[in-house]
């Protein structure tokens, strides 16, 4: 009995992973795709898909949360506590842009379907890294302390996502975005 339950749980986990992988690919390539198309791409039936994700919105939120959690891990690996806060900020901007660049289309879809307020709330884990680093920079006297730190975080978050939109619309080259972001944000943030 326990064996059957274990097997069922393993099956469910495999299905969920396959659905999230397929949904990420489908949302990125064909944002308007239906749940039926996602089920096909994941190799599961529609009943299985809906058993795990009750709606397209729930599925989009799950894909987004997994992507942001992965971004959080990659940003943590940039070791923001090491070196000067300005150097760490440069690493953070490059790492964040690199991750965001891979998921530009997903974020565009999420912005439209979930709204920018919810999108920002779901970035909490990533945004906390930015806030922690800026607070360290303020203590070290290299990041400006004359503006609310929440606004400095908004500035970083907004311009990163604005760069992704400009790349999506063809106004900015993806390979130039990291340099452009650093050149814009450092003078805005330094004391």
Binding site for a copy of itself (CB under 8 A): 108, 111-112, 115-117, 120, 146-148, 150-151, 154-155, 157-159, 161-163, 165-166, 168-169, 171-172, 180, 183-185, 187-188, 190
Q: Do 164 and 101 meet the contact criterion of CB atoms below 8 Å apart?
A: yes
Closest approach of a copy of itself to the CB of residue 104, in Å: 12
Tokens 């994700």: give the residue.
53
Q: Output the smallest distance, CB 128 to a copy of itself, in A.
A: 15
The smaller minimum CB distance to a copy of itself, of residues 120 and 136, is found at 120
Beta carbon nearer to a copy of itself, 76 or 184 = 184
| Contact criterion met (CB below 8 Å) for 129 and 83 | no
Residue number, 47 or 117, with CB nearest to a copy of itself: 117
The smaller minimum CB distance to a copy of itself, of residues 3 and 169, is found at 169
Residue 64 has which token pair? Answer: 């987004």
Pull the structure tokens for residue 75.
């940003």
Dist CA 156 CA 154 (whole Å): 6
Least Å distance, CB 184 to a copy of itself, is: 5
| Choice between 45 and 115, CB closer to a copy of itself | 115
For the purposes of burial, counting CB atoms within 10 Å of the CB of 191, is it exposed (0-12), middle (13-18) or buried (19 or more)?
Answer: exposed
CA atoms of 118 and 174, how far apart (whole Å) = 25
* Side-chain-facing half-sphere of 86: CA atoms under 13 Å: 13
Distance in Å, CB of 109 to a copy of itself, minimum = 10
State the minimum distance, in angstroms, from the CB of residue 74 to a copy of itself: 24
Q: Which is nearer to a copy of itself, 17 or 188 (CB)?
A: 188
The whole-angstrom separation of Cα 26 and Cα 178 is 27
Rounded least distance, CB 49 to a copy of itself, Å: 26
* Pair 23, 38: CB distance under 8 Å: yes
């Amino acid at each position: 009995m326990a064996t059957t339950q274990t097997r069922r749980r393993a099956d469910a986990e495999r299905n969920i992973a396959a659905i999230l992988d397929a949904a990420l690919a489908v949302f990125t390539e064909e944002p308007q795709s239906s749940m039926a198309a996602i089920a096909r791409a994941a190799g599961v039936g529609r009943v299985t898909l809906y058993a795990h994700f009750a709606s397209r919105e729930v599925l989009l939120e799950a894909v987004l949360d997994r992507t942001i959690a992965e971004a959080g891990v990659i940003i943590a690996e940039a070791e923001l506590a090491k070196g000067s806060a300005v150097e760490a900020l440069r690493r953070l901007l490059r790492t964040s842009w690199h991750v965001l660049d891979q998921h530009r289309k997903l974020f565009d879809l999420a912005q439209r379907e979930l709204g920018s307020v919810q999108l920002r709330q779901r970035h909490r884990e990533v945004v906390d890294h930015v806030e922690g680093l800026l607070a360290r920079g303020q203590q070290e006297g290299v990041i400006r302390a004359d503006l609310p730190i929440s606004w400095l975080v908004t500035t970083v978050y907004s311009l990163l996502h604005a760069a992704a939109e400009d790349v999506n619309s063809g106004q900015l080259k993806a390979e130039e975005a990291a340099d452009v972001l650093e050149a814009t944000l450092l003078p805005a943030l330094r004391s």
